[in-house]
Amino acid sequence: MTGVEARAADQQSFMEQMALMLPLAQRLAYGMLQNAHECEDALQDASFKAWRAFPRLREGSDVRAWFLTIVANECRQRRRSRWWSTLKLESPPAEASDRHQQTLGDEDAIDLRRALNRIPSDMKMALVLRYYLDFSFEDIGRVLGVSAAAAKSRTHRALCRLRVEIPEVLADE
């Protein structure tokens, strides 16, 4: 749906579109943050920002990509939170604090998850969009604001970086 069509269909239709996109947006936020509480907060903040930015949405805009971009930016900001980086506060292990974590808990999964948290946000975003949300490279590019070729390249670099982080886990990949 383009931006003009969303406006012409009135705000109620826009909310319908938002409601339909929420499950996808939640998976994106959860894939990036891996914490139910932060995911929920990120989604609410992104929804608020989307509402604020909607009047400026240009004709021809892809509403889904636009909203997911806002969600992605919200996730990036939370990962780069100054609080944790400057004050060095300790955090309990994620597996213990996130009651909604449903991983099998095997060592490979734990190692992969930790490696994902060590690679740059943009790389992790490409991997989440590709392997958690099943996006095509074209759709990944729309969310990241790059071409499909660039999205494919970024995904490939992210995989290479993962192999560096956990060679023993991805040796067969």
**Residue numbers 68-127 binding other proteins by CB under 8 A:** 78, 81-84, 87-92, 97, 100-104, 106, 108-110, 112-113, 116, 127
CA distances from 137 to 115, 128, 150 (A): 23, 12, 9
**Minimum gap (Å) between residue 150 Cβ and other proteins:** 19
Binding-site member from 54, 66, 135, 137 for other proteins (CB under 8 A): 54
**48 is a site residue for other proteins (CB under 8 A):** yes
Q: In angstroms, give the least distance from the CB of 10 to other proteins.
A: 5
Q: Binding segment for other proteins among 46-54, 68-76, 142-150 (CB under 8 A)? A: 46-54
1 exposure class (CB count in 10 Å sphere: 0-12, 13-18, 19+): middle
Instruction: Determine, following the binding rule CB under 8 A, whether residue 168 of this chain makes contact with other proteins.
Output: no
